[in-house]
Structure 1
């Protein structure tokens, strides 16, 4: 799985380098508001994590359209009663951006996540979750001329992340993200 993620990242970067007219690189930091949804999620609640960070490149094809692949470390999870389960992912969002007006963009695209670790109050529970997660991300962003940018997104998980032996329950990640970034010129 790690090889697949690495090959995907290299392929995306190679494609964008060859296709782009204007490429900018940047970093971003944000907060996640995450939970899981599925068959028996009545008692499951949202958790807030201030840890979401990574790097991106924005490849402009013209004034209206650009492509923004990202490599992000993201702490997600959920709570059940007093137990908090944290899921640490290395994510690869592949965002298409449409600029409605100068600086303001609508964003959407697929996202692949690789589960790095899973903890329930300090206990390792990674075996209870599938290693790969994929979903659809959409949101809005605003970029200032000095390179500072802001975004609000929602990642709707499409894959069942439950890997508990004998369980037929299906669960998907759901993550709202607020972030601030800086593009280097």
Structure 2
């Protein structure tokens, strides 16, 4: 029930963001940015948590963003999204699952040879629903899982290829900088990292 509620609230917020970004305030296409373009990004994730005896876990990413191009080379993006990240715990043969809402404050993009691009940015994550097998009291999916910090900060870098003027293929790596281990008397540092392969479509 809590999981369904979380997804309902998430998609409501994404729908609100989409509406504001698409119609904007004033004459532009962006949300608080009259000259920005609105876009959607969907992809697959391979994630892990450093500090755990774990292997990679597959997940899903969906994001909405605004973008602004200063010229043929430089541009910025900002937006928000959802990521299903975590790790597969070898000891328990189960997963740490973190359903996380992401806020991407800003990323800088550089395009060269008209088709190729690189980018660098930062992300703030908020884990609202998850499963922490190390918590013996609540081992299933719970709202704000105990033993996991609710906020995470990461940096990311990647590259992409423009398939068309509107569609691009991207590969990026998120490096977690926050120790998300909030277990009692914990000494191990858990840092969530993930690799994303995605398709992004920009409405121009």
Indicate whether the TM-score tops 0.5.
yes
* Shift, 1:97, TM fit: 0.3
**2:88 is the counterpart of 1:79:** yes
Q: Higher relative contact order at CA 8 Å, sep ≥6: structure 1 or structure 2?
A: 1
**TM-score, with length taken from structure 2:** 0.76
In the comparison of the two structures, how many residue pairs are matched? 168
Q: TM-score, normalised by structure 1?
A: 0.83
* Cα offsets for 1:95-133 (capped at 9, x unmatched): 110112213110101111111211147343711111110
Q: Which residue of 1 aligns with 2:103?
A: 92
Change over 3 Å in CA distance of 1:122–1:114 after alignment to 2: same
Compute the RMSD of aligned alpha carbons. Answer: 2.2
Q: When you count strand as a share of all residues, which structure comes out higher?
A: 1
Whole-Å separation in 1 of the counterparts to 2:123 and 2:95: 24
- Distance in 2 of aligned mates of 1:127 and 1:59: 39
Shift of 1:87: 0.4
Quote the residue 2:79 is aligned against. 70
Unaligned stretches of 5+ residues in structure 1: 1-5
What aligned pairs does 1:14-53 form with structure 2 within 5 A after superposition?
A: 14=32, 17=33, 22-38=35-51, 41=52, 43-49=53-59, 51-53=60-62
Give 2:182's aligned residue: 163
Q: Tell me how far 1:57 sits from its aligned partner.
A: 1.1
Could you tell me which runs of 5 or more consecutive residues in structure 2 were left unpaired when the two chains were aligned.
1-12, 21-30, 133-138
Deviation (angstroms), 1:157:
0.3
Aligned pairs for 1:132-147 within 5 A: 132-147=151-166
Q: Deviation of residue 149 (structure 1)?
A: 1.3
How far apart, in 1, do the equivalents of 2:198 and 2:145 lie?
27
4+ long deviations beyond 3 Å = 120-123
Question: Aligned partners of 2:119, 2:141: CA distance in 1, in Å?
Answer: 36
1:179 alignment partner, SS class: strand
